[in-house]
Structure 1
Amino acid sequence: MTKLKPHPSPSAAGAEVLEQKKLPAQQRATETYERILTATAETLCDVGIERLSTNLVCERAGLTPPALYRYFPNKYALLSVLGERLLEKQNERIDHWITQELLAGTPAQLELAMAELILDTYRVTHATLGGMWILKALRAVPVLEHVRLDSHRRVTNAQLQLLIAAFPLADPEVLSTVARIGVEMIHATVELLFDETLDPKRVCAMVAAMIVSHLDRIGPVEKND
């Protein structure tokens, strides 16, 4: 089984910054935990990444700082959980649209499904409270970078196995690169649609065509004499 080469984990200091202090065990604690996360997303929409603070979150959630600090040591831990949840929602759409049967079908069918996947990912992000800001935080805040990259790499490895099955004669390293770039292009397109006033359907169709067109260039492994 071919996988992407491992990448170094975040530093111990970075991991400690994002580490949650406690997970809720009872219903009341779970309600408080979720109220904190909702307040974080709402505050993020109002003030942006830089001005977001645990004090503002506490004020909106109607909690004291010690109540918040039982679960989250700082605002980056809050953003990390919101980021992980958003990425999970996005990743669920991939399995819905991209299947082994589809990869074995016609390029036109795959292109249409890929366009719908990108558009669906955009819609899921748009429907998520603070979705646009959460995406920006995952890319702009260094300590959160690994949350985004780890998720993208997991998706890449899953899609790589589908590509290997669909192109058994192709070089796995080439397929790995195709899968990784494809995943990154999808997420970059979603971010673009939040940054610019563009027609989402048209943009998604264009990007899908670019990704699928490259699959025609994948040939068998070249053997050295």
Structure 2
Amino acid sequence: MPEHSFRKVFASLESAVPPVPGHLKPRKTPVQSRSGATVEAIHEAVVQVLLTEGLARLTTTRVAERAGVSVGTLYQYFPNKQALLFTILLQHFVEMAEVIEKVSRDRAPRPLADLADGLADAYFSVKLARPEVTTALYRIAGAIDQVRLPPDVFKRLETAVTQALKHASDATFHDPERAAFTLLSALAGVARAGFSRPVSDPAFLRRLHREGRLLSRAYLRAAADTAADLSATS
């Protein structure tokens, strides 16, 4: 992840409301290119240790060794293993919010089917960019209480989808916020099931992407039809 994105993630932890517990916050934000590269190397090392040795054997010492830094350097940024895992998981959600926000910023009216595909494509673009990283992230999620993540990151995701739905040229939604929440939850379920184990088969990944598109189209069409039925009977 680029250095400027690391700064965004660290800043969101510093300003989170309600506050994230202190033991889960990083100690300092990478400011210079060198420090950004160090944090990125630590992130990559976490992924590799998770995939090769598993969560039970993941320690700050192993991560530091794999990253090529001292344990002291790692502790300059992260006070403990939980803070390290927590920050990496938050980073993932920030990346997802950014790509979905790009879809919502395109204000040109679009058929609902195209819009549904665009939302699914954005969602899975992050998951499929590096499948091994996504597998590792789900292992992190199993060890971290996601409820403690800053609520604004989930709000960003839902707001981006809600705004995108308003640009459908052939559909309206009675409750776009609920539709956004349900769509994101459904896509998350597909992704979680798909990456419950290490995945490297390109055919499987393409099928997972197609299923995400199919789910997005079917659900959003059904949600829009329900809205039309409610309007007709009111």
- Same fold by TM-score, threshold 0.5 exceeded? yes
The match for 2:11 is none
Matched, 1:153 2:158: no
Structure 1 unaligned segments of length 5 or more: list them.
1-7
Out of 116, 120, 124, the residue aligned to residue 125 of structure 2 is: 120
The match for 2:214 is 206
Partners of 2:17 and 2:218 in 1: how far apart? 32
Mapping for residues 65-76 of structure 1, pairs under 5 Å: 65-76=71-82
Mapping for residues 18-97 of structure 1, pairs under 5 Å: 18-97=24-103
The match for 2:192 is 191
> 1:150: how far off?
4.4
Give the partner amino acid of 2:118: A
**What TM-score do you get using the length of structure 2 for normalisation?**
0.70
SS in 1 for 2:149: helix
Matched, 1:16 2:17: no
Structure 2 unaligned segments of length 5 or more: list them.
1-15
Count of residue pairs brought into register by the alignment: 207
SS in 2 for 1:186: helix
Contact 1:44 1:130 in 2 (8 A): no
Partners of 2:140 and 2:168 in 1: how far apart? 36
Structure 1 segments of 4 or more deviating over 6 A?
Answer: none
SS in 2 for 1:22: coil
Contact 1:111 1:212 in 2 (8 A): yes
The match for 1:108 is 113
Q: What CA RMSD, in Å, does the superposition of the two structures yield over aligned residues?
A: 3.4
Matched, 1:137 2:140: yes
Contact 2:110 2:168 in 1 (8 A): no
Partners of 2:139 and 2:155 in 1: how far apart? 19
Contact 1:94 1:117 in 2 (8 A): yes
Give the partner amino acid of 1:77: A
Residues 144/123 of structure 1: CA separation in 2 closer, same or farther (3 Å cut): same
The match for 1:218 is 227
Deviations 1:49-102 (A, max 9, x none): 23211111122223332221111011122122222322233233323445443x
Residues 108/154 of structure 1: CA separation in 2 closer, same or farther (3 Å cut): closer
**What TM-score do you get using the length of structure 1 for normalisation?**
0.73
